[in-house]
Amino acid sequence: MPEGPEIRRVADRLAEVLVDRTVERVRFGLPRLKPEEALLSGQRVLEVEPRGKALLTHFENGLSLYSHNQLYGVWRICPAGRPPNLTRSLRVALETRDRWALLYSASDIEVLEEHELDQHPFLARIGPDVLAADTTPARIRRRLRDSRFAGRSLGALLLDQTFVAGLGNYLRSEILFFSGLRPEQRPRDLDEDEVALLARQIREVTRRSYRTGGLTELPEEVREAKRLGEPRRSHRHAVFGRSGKPCRRCGARIRRSEVGTRRLYLCPLCQPLRRPS
C-alpha cells in the first residue's frame, strides 16, 4: 500500500493538472456514484489535499471527492482523449480540456459535502498527517507521551493511523533504525532525549522519502553507494528489504522479523535490545 510520501507525490501531480482548472466531465466506474457525475462536472478544482493515505479533491461548489487507493488503486494522468491501455477497472475520470486524471482499481471512493468530511469513518479517526506543515516534532512528541499511545509497542504504534497518519511498513523499519529503537519498546519506556529523537525521525525520514521519491537512506550513504555502482534497490533504504546484508554503519547483518504480521528489519547492534527502565 502506498504510504504518506507516495500519496503526497500523487497529490502534487494531480494538483499540477487539476487545480484552478475546470473539470469539464466527471465519470465514475462505480454505479452507486453515477448520480454524482452531474454535480462535479463543470466545476473548478480548488485543491488536492492528502490526508494520510487518502486524497481529497476539493471543488468550488463545496463538494469533495474522497479516494483511498488501498492496495491496488493507482492514478494515471494522460493527454485528453488518450487514456493508457490498462486492463484495470476505471473508477474515476476527471477530464479537463487538455489533461485527464484517471483512478483505476480503487473502490473506497465517495463524494462528500464539507460538513461530512469530519464525520467520515476514515477521516474522523486518523491522526495528523505526517507531512502536514503543522505536524511538527513537538506535536509528535506530545502524542508519544499521550496516554492513548504511550503504552503501545512502537512496532504497532508506527502503523496506527490514529497516531500519525501516513506512516507505513517501510517507514516503520527506517524510523526505528534511525532512532536506534526496537519495535517492542514503548514510548513510556523512553527518556526525554529518546522521545525527542523518535519524534524528529518520524518527521525527517518521511520527508526525506517524499523529497527523493522513496529514498530513506541518508544522502551521503546514497552517494557512496552510487559511487560503488550499487543498484537503487540496494541503497534505497538503510535496513528495510536488506535482510542478511551488512549494516552500513556497523557491519552487522540486518535481521528480518514479523511484527504485527508485517515484515520488519533492524540492525542488532545499532538498535540494541534494552530492558524498560
- Which residues are annotated as catalytic? 2-3, 53, 262
Amino acid making up residue 168: G
Q: Is 134 exposed, middle or buried (0-12, 13-18, 19+ CB in 10 A)?
A: exposed
DSSP letter at 265 equals: E
Q: 85 in helix, strand or coil?
A: coil
* Superfamily of segment(s) 4-119: MutM-like, N-terminal (3.20.190.10)
CATH topology of domain 137-266: Helicase, Ruva Protein; domain 3 (1.10.8)
- pLDDT tens digits, residue range 133-174? 999 999 999 999 999 999 999 999 999 999 999 999 999 999
Q: Is the Cβ–Cβ distance between 260 and 248 less than 8 Å?
A: no
- The whole-angstrom separation of Cα 54 and Cα 255 is 32
Give Cβ neighbours of residue 189 (< 8 Å, ≥ 6 apart): 276, 277
Q: What is the 3-state secondary structure (H, E, C) of 154-216?
A: HHHHCCCCCCCECCCHHHHHHHHHHHCCCCCCCHHHCCHHHHHHHHHHHHHHHHHHHHHCCCC
Q: How far is CA 211 from CA 55, 147, 192, 195, in A?
A: 19, 33, 28, 24
DSSP letter at 245 equals: S
Q: Is the Cβ–Cβ distance between 160 and 223 less than 8 Å?
A: no
Q: 43 in helix, strand or coil?
A: strand
- pLDDT tens digits, residue range 2-15? 789 999 999 999 99
Q: How far is CA 192 from CA 114, 130, 195, 250, in A?
A: 40, 21, 5, 26
DSSP letter at 75 equals: E
The grid coordinates of residue 227 equal: 559511487
In the beta sheet, which residues pair with residue 253? Answer: 246
In the beta sheet, which residues pair with residue 79? Answer: 99
Question: What are the backbone angles phi and psi of residue 259, rounded to the nearest 5°?
Answer: -130, 115
Residues of the chain with CATH 1.10.8.50: 137-266
Residues of the chain with CATH 3.20.190.10: 4-119
The grid coordinates of residue 46 equal: 480548488
Q: 80 in helix, strand or coil?
A: coil
Q: Going residue by residue through the chain (277 aa), what tens digit of pLDDT does each one get? A: 678 999 999 999 999 999 999 999 999 999 999 999 999 999 999 999 999 889 999 999 999 999 998 888 999 999 999 999 999 999 999 999 999 999 999 999 999 999 999 899 999 999 999 999 999 999 999 999 999 999 999 999 999 999 999 999 999 999 999 999 999 999 999 999 999 999 999 999 999 999 999 999 999 999 999 999 988 988 999 999 999 999 999 999 999 999 988 999 999 999 998 765 5
Q: How far is CA 60 from CA 51, 56, 105, in A?
A: 19, 13, 27
- The whole-angstrom separation of Cα 67 and Cα 240 is 28
Longest dimension (CA), the chain: 63
The pLDDT, as a whole number, for residue 2 is 76
The pLDDT, as a whole number, for residue 1 is 64
For the question of whether the overall pTM of this predicted structure is more than 0.75, the answer is yes
Give Cβ neighbours of residue 75 (< 8 Å, ≥ 6 apart): 10, 13, 14, 69, 101, 102, 103, 104
